[in-house]
Structure 1
Amino acid sequence: MVPRHVLRGRSTCTWTRKHFSSSSRHLSYSDTISNLKIGKHTRVIFQGFTGRQATANAKESIAWGTNIVGGVTPGKNGEHLGLPVLPTVREAMKKLKPDATGIYVAAHQAPAAIEEAIEAEVPLVVAVAEHIPIHDIMRIHSILKTQSKSRFVGANAPGIISAIGKCRIGFQPLPCFMPGRIGIIAKSGTLSYEAVASTTRSGLGQSLCIGMGGDVLAGTNFVDALKVFEHDDDTEGIILIGEIGGEAEPEAAEWIREYRNRSSNPKPISALIGGVHAAAGRVMGHAGAFTLPGESDALTKIKHLEDVGVTVVNHPSKLGDAMKVLLGNSGRASSGAATSGSGVSQRRGLHTLRRVRPRVASYSFQIEQRRNLHIAEDQALGLLRERGINASVYSGKGRKHMLGVAVDRANLSPCIVASPAADTNQPHLDMKKFSFDYRKGLDSIRIAAIAQHLQLTESSKDSLPKLINGLIDLYMKKEAFLLETMFVERLGELKVVGANFGFDDAAFRSTKRQEDIHALRRIEDEDPQEVEAEKDGIVYIKLAGDGNIGTLVNGAGLAMNTVDALADAGGKAANFLDTGGKATSETVKKSFQVILQDPRVKVIFVNIFGGLTLGDMIANGVLLAFKELEMRLPVVVRIRGTNEEEGQKIIGESGLPLHAFDDFQEAATKAIELANK
């Protein structure tokens, strides 16, 4: 038995089975799915209630109609915004009887706040914070599996919102929403806002929108949401928005197949998957937007969905019209029509569905992006030798096997990954996962199964436990997300001859844990523009090839989709750039500075959907860049969403060589034309 490791700096919340009396009735976490159906009836509290962000959000949500009944701030009793403030969630549960809690605290405080809410048995726990350490989330999922009272949404998610019930638990841009009949489940916040605006412009509106979030391990996934939408009388059509990373989309496709087989009149489903043209081996903005060993790429996910009858589009602005057609074909067009009068203007839309995408080459797994720390192979081998494991560079002798510790996103836990035959071209051939509980570790029976799968000789099997235990010890103590090794059998022992190690950057960034590991970073080996952008909170990835369109986008999902949709239109993006969901005029200027250092760029395409980011603020940022950077390149600006008309007016009246659009296809066509002059 591998012992459980307790990491320094973690929450001190203690757990026993006594909190979960329902366990005796053999219920499970899946029994909490119905808690997602929020509405006018939902009584909401905020954790971190008196903080600045929570206060601003609560004012907006209350004015919109959300039934916020109070909140929690440790050590405080009293009132805030005319509502009760209590010191603990348990006391709030007793006195305020909430159905849901929104957690508005920083990433380093979020794990303890989530655990406190689960321990108090709040039915719905929504965490919006980004950069919660992966190991903290794995521990939380280990806890969630032991109970049947609390449902978790997040982390790194915009939250959950009922347009019909006027209940918002999150930071979604309210002007985009209109009561209607489309249910939406999304990994990306910005892409979901575009989908919401598209269904509003189409007159369909929304019923319930669930932000699955872009985290490595989501508390609620596509299948969970689909189960809600299946039985929700307010929902007549469903939109699913995914991206690279994990297997949630193929799992959703399998559920949809079964749903269509058992239903006489299934609800139509449309989808979008971001990351078809993602940079090989990179983390594309979202913490979970990277491919672990054995996971599907974006094209494979699209095929899975299309094979079960899902209509896949290549841009979120097409989703409203796509759903309108699907509802008409299903005979549902005449019922539940949404009324007009939203805060989003009726504008030109995109009317064609997804074109056939070019097949992109597959690639072996390698992590480089700074959302995680990937150390050099010599450093990785050194860490193994420190733990008494035989490790050195491959001499060319012996058949390679693959063994590692990774995140099993399907089971929401760590796992051993093993392949009996690993080579350069197919390093994960016949790979198998062996999951284990985060808090209990791996038992000896599983080690025997791993040895059998690796096809080890009898003389080498006794060496396997030492290697596995050493890897797990390193994985847990140093908060890795992937420890991948190649080993050979040598004189009855296992010798590691290759290593690919990735560690969670959030553990260092949010909590300052693992400083020794992150001191191993070699900035001199990284792209200087990417390092420069990182200092300003911008995620910039220079794409390989002859791309000549610089992209500047707010939101990781939208940035991925912009690269994809440009390629579909015949253009070539030079970079992926996510200014972040809360872009400012200054970060827009900094983004221009980074893009302009790439000599391949002939035009800059600014694609902004105003959610938290205001369209007029982005427009002013573009003007600021022109003024201070003495811009010489043409710039195409597409602004939609919050304050879009104000932003477009600022661009249009600037007198600068700027081209303003609200329609993506028109903007993309113009950018491609200018880039190819």
Structure 2
Amino acid sequence: MPSSVHLETTRPLRTWLRALSTTSSVRSYSYADTLPNLRIGSHTRVIFQGFTGKQATANARDSMAWGTKIVGGVTPGRTGEHLGLPILPTVRRAMELLKPDATGIYVAAHQAVAAIEEAIEAEVPLIVAVAEHIPLHDMLRIMSILKTQSTSRLVGANSPGIISAVGRCRIGFQPLPCFSPGSIGIIAKSGTLSYETVASTTRAGLGQSLCIGVGGDIVPGTDLREALSVLESDPDTAAIALIGEIGGSGEMDAASWINEYHSRTSLPKPIVGLVAGADEARGHIMGHAGAFTAVGEPDANAKIAALKNAGVTMINHPAKFGAALRARLVAAGETTLVSQTVKSNNNNNNNNNNNRSSFGVRSTTTTTTQRRPFHMAPRGGRRPQRTGTPSLGAAAALAAATPSASASASASAGVGHQQRRQIYLSEDKCMDMLRAAGQINCGAYSGHGERRLLAISIDRSARSPCIIAAPVAAPAIEQSSTTQDAKKFPFDFRRGGPDELAVERIASHLRLSNKGSAVDSLRRVIRGLVDIFYRNEAFLLATHVVERLGEIKVVGARFGFDDAAFSSGGRQGHLQELRDASAQDDPELAVAKKSGIVYIKLAGDGTIGTLVNGAGLAMNTVDALEQAGGKAANFLDTGGKATSETVKESFGLILRDSRVRVIFVNIFGGLTLGDMIARGVILAFKELSPRVPIVVRIRGTNEEEGQRLIAESGLPLHAFDDFEEAAAKAIELSRVDQTRL
């Protein structure tokens, strides 16, 4: 069992204690019963937690103007009015008086967990948490709570939220100018990739129905498979865009679900997909907290293959979603639907005076009739109401901290300053931790005995910790993600480790020869790993072990801990001093961190410097360049709240790399404005005087103004709005050695 230190730092609050004290009937509850709560629309009554904060205020104004039925909000200890709507001091009180269907949590990461738990205790049907950098163990605890009830459904964290374009209901921070009512359901791990997908489907005349941002967290409250099951029965959705990325097995679970869906459905809804991160930098987090491939997880190429085999049309850039979905719908005989959607979108575009950017819609001629029975709900139409589900029971509202009016907008929106999410220790410090955990034999590998993998990590599909075991390990501990025959043994976060039966199964899978003393020795090692996992809030504890004379000996170790526990939660400060000195930030990374930029210098002979907004789009840009015959020198995400100064700093980072022969700026303006990016490019050019050519592609919010600024700057910039044309130009210029010109 975990130590008392663990209990002090990570023991749940009243909701979890209540769940543990209930009778066995709690087992009849299913978190899956809450899936209907995702069907938001014009009927959805929404409250905001952190209502009077800067970010929530701006978001509420925009959402209400768009049509979202916001009925009030919560700020601890306050009553009165804000934006003409009631302020209440607790979520419980808001539930009693305002009867909301959903809550949007607009608070900073260190306040988000208490806010989520307060919403669960108040039994809010849908909880949307957008903040980044919530500590992993806090989210594991939240998931253990959610699994004990069937009333509340969570979207997020690290998510842009959920939005119904048909029902004009936004709970999140999605850029509204991109959206138009229509027939395409969108499920995405990446915010920026989803925004460009929205724009692409709008340009194709299809529009959107329900868009679910599952987010890039390690343990999301709603995953890809669950979102697919909702869109399957959604009456407004005719086809689905599925956007995945590296990290976890969610895409494989989605592929299995799609195979089963096709086997039981005569006319399934077409699905088009994209998976970002095929050219990931192993050992790095690619922007999102969950964007890394861990032990026993498939890489992006395996996910793409699985989805293809399931009948998904796979593309390599989000701008292609509109054309691919249109083609699938036409092939399925849905041209009447396509034509209806075009007419609706044309009318909507003519009437939408708040749209800050142009997303042209092409008309389509109707040639056949629709084959699959399909209901097109009118714009703003009511979605099905949720059905009654078993209740977790009433609980006293928590006096949990939620943000003050001065809370950081970028922090509460889940964007802005980027934090390191991983702390790795040197092997000798890992071994010291194991010895301190008690009676664990550690030492160098003598060359005798088969090395086996024994690790603790996260089973993202189960949304719980797990033991990972493999009878044969990779040659080096750092290569653990490539280990074959690795099997996961998940355990409930609240239980404090695997039970005795699981230990026996782990021993069997490891093929231990001496089933007596060897199992006892294995039990001690697992107990020590579990203690370290909880006590220090680890995300990965990987060891190589050998069996010698009936004893398990640890001969290699690589430990990783969640830095958000310190940077957001103020815990685990002792790990900062133990951080592996060989992995300390180099000067480029220090500059990037200070400026809120995620920068990874890629290995190899890449010559194209990339500057992109959004982690998913940055991964996809690296992938798409590779597939087109180019080679990126870096991954660079300017962050969701990039400024002109941030863009200039990004140029400086890229230009420090002597391999770079061209800079490719690929921006889709969602929260980031196209004109602001253009000003940053112009500022960087004037102040840094780069000696390499610059290719600029700007689409999305304020794209026309951004393109105009570039065109009128008088600077030697290559400007495009089409990604493939821009990428082709960058690749062409990358093959020219500028130093010889």
Aligned partner (choices 475, 485, 488) of residue 433 of structure 1: 488
Mapped pair 1:452 → 2:508: yes
Is the 2:205–2:361 Cα contact (8 Å) retained in structure 1?
A: no
2:199/2:359 contact within 8 Å kept:
no
**Structure-2 separation of matches of 1:511 and 1:499:** 26
Partners of 1:183 and 1:229 within 8 A in 2: yes
Give the whole-Å Cα distance in 1 for the aligned partners of 2:155 and 2:131.
11
Cα 1:21/1:448, change in 2 over 3 Å: closer
Deviation at 1:445, TM superposition (A): 2.1
Q: Alignment partner for residue 358 of structure 2, among 320, 337, 345?
A: 345
Q: Flag the 1:524–1:300 CA change in 2: closer, same or farther, 3 A.
A: closer
Matches within 5 A, 1:238-637: 238-335=240-337, 336-338=340-342, 339-340=345-346, 341-342=348-349, 343=355, 344-346=357-359, 370-388=420-438, 389-424=440-475, 427=480, 428-441=483-496, 442-456=498-512, 457=514, 458-522=516-580, 525-526=583-584, 527-637=586-696
Deviation at 1:371, TM superposition (A): 2.6
Instruction: Give CA-to-partner distance per residue, 1:583-617, whole Å, 9 cap, x none.
Output: 11111111111100000001100111111111111
CA deviation after TM superposition for structure 1 residue 370, in Å: 3.7
Secondary structure of the 2:450 match is coil
Please report how far the alpha carbon of residue 446 of structure 1 lies from its aligned counterpart in structure 2 after TM superposition: 1.6
Once the two structures are TM-superposed, the CA of residue 524 in structure 1 deviates from its matched residue by: 5.4
> Could you tell me whether the CA contact under 8 Å between 1:574 and 1:601 is conserved in 2?
yes
| SS in structure 2 of the partner of residue 648 of structure 1 | helix
Amino acid at match of 1:532: V
Distance of 1:175 and 1:523 partners within structure 2: 46
Q: Does the 8 Å contact 1:244/1:275 carry over to 2?
A: yes
In 1, the alpha carbon distance for the partners of 2:12 and 2:26 equals: 27
Distance 1:524 1:500, change over 3 A: closer
Q: Contact 2:10/2:137 (CA < 8 Å) preserved in 1?
A: no
Provide, for residues 512-544 of structure 1, a one-character-per-residue CA deviation record: whole Å limited to 9, x for no partner. Answer: 211111222245544432233122221111111
Q: Are 2:724 and 1:665 aligned?
A: yes
SS in 1 for 2:194: helix
Given residue 468 of structure 2, which amino acid in structure 1 is its aligned partner? Answer: V
State whether structure 2 residue 169 is matched by structure 1 residue 167. Answer: yes
Distance between the aligned counterparts of 2:269 and 2:578, measured in 1?
52
- Using the alignment, how far apart are the partners of 2:583 and 2:242 within structure 1? 38
Counterpart in the other structure of 1:361: none
Pairwise CA distance, 1:346 = 4.3
Say which SS state the counterpart of residue 519 (structure 1) adopts. helix
Residue aligning to 2:414: none
Query: Given that residues 424 and 580 in structure 2 are in contact (C-alpha distance below 8 angstroms), is that contact kept between their aligned partners in structure 1?
Result: no
Superposition map of 1:4-403 within 5 A: 5-8=6-9, 12-15=13-16, 16-17=18-19, 26-335=28-337, 336-338=340-342, 339-340=345-346, 341-342=348-349, 343=355, 344-346=357-359, 370-388=420-438, 389-403=440-454
Instruction: Work out the CA distance in 1 between the residues paired with 2:520 and 2:11.
Output: 34
The residue aligned with 1:354 is: none
Structure-2 separation of matches of 1:104 and 1:580: 18
Question: In the alignment, is the contact (CA less than 8 A) between 2:42 and 2:169 conserved in 1?
Answer: yes
Q: Residue 374 of structure 1: CA displacement?
A: 1.8
Alpha-carbon distance, 1:36 to partner? 0.3
Instruction: Say if 1:27 and 1:333 are closer, same or farther in 2 by CA, change over 3 A.
Output: farther
Q: Counterpart of 1:122 in structure 2: which amino acid?
A: V
Give the conservation status (yes or no) of the 8 Å contact 2:29–2:148: no
Whole-angstrom CA distance in 2 between matches of 1:126 and 1:7: 28
Tell me the distance in 1 between the aligned counterparts of 2:422 and 2:335: 46
Over 3 Å counting, the alpha-carbon distance change for 1:181 and 1:398 in structure 2 is same
SS at match of 2:273: strand
Q: Which moved more, 1:3-12 or 1:73-82?
A: 3-12
CA positional deviation for 1:429: 2.6
Q: Measure how far apart 1:460 and its partner are.
A: 1.7
- Measure the CA separation in 2 of the matches of 1:128 and 1:652: 36
- Secondary structure of 2:568's match? helix
Aligned equivalents of 1:200 and 1:60: distance in 2?
A: 20
Distance 1:490 1:19 in 2: 44
CA displacement, residues 31-69 of structure 1 (integer Å, 9 cap, x when unaligned) = 100000000000000000011100010010011100000
Tell whether the 8 Å contact from 2:91 to 2:118 is kept in structure 1 after alignment.
yes
Kindly state the Cα deviation for residue 127 of structure 1 after the two structures are TM-superposed: 0.2
Structure 2 residue matching 1:334: 3-state secondary structure: helix
Query: 1:167–1:507: structure 2 CA closer, same or farther, 3 Å change rule?
Result: same
**Does residue 649 of structure 1 match 2:708?**
yes
Secondary structure of 1:545's partner?
coil
CA distance in 2, matches of 1:249, 1:90: 36
What is the identity, as a one-letter code, of the residue corresponding to 2:216?
A: G
Scaled by the length of structure 2, what TM-score is found?
0.86
Deviates more, 1:309-318 or 1:492-501: 492-501
CA offsets, 1:360-414, max 9 Å, x none?
xxxxxxxxx9431122222211211222322222222222121111101011000
Displacement after TM superposition at 1:345 (Å): 2.5
More deviation, 632-641/197-206: 632-641
Task: Return closer, same or farther for 1:480/1:491 CA change in 2, 3 Å cut-off.
Answer: same
| Aligned-partner SS, 1:533 | helix
If asked which structure has higher relative contact order (CA below 8 Å, sep 6+), I would say: 2
Shift of 1:567: 1.1
Q: How many residues align?
A: 658
Whole-angstrom distance in 2 between the partners of 1:214 and 1:24: 30
Indicate the SS of the match to 1:605: strand
Task: Report Cα offsets for 1:253-275 as digits up to 9, x if no partner.
Answer: 11111111111111110001001
Quote the offset at 1:467 in angstroms.
0.8
Distance 1:260 1:402 in 2: 37
Q: Counterpart of 1:232 in 2: which secondary structure? A: coil
Give me the whole-angstrom Cα distance separating, in 2, the residues matched to 1:631 and 1:429: 46
Q: Contact 2:15–2:121 (CA<8 Å) still a contact in 1?
A: no
Say if 1:188 and 1:19 are closer, same or farther in 2 by CA, change over 3 A: farther
Asked if structure 1 preserves the Cα contact closer than 8 Å seen for 2:15 and 2:145, the reply is no
SS of the residue corresponding to residue 77 of structure 2 reads coil
Corresponding letter in the other structure for 1:470: G
Distance 1:649 1:519 in 2: 50
Q: Give % identity.
A: 64
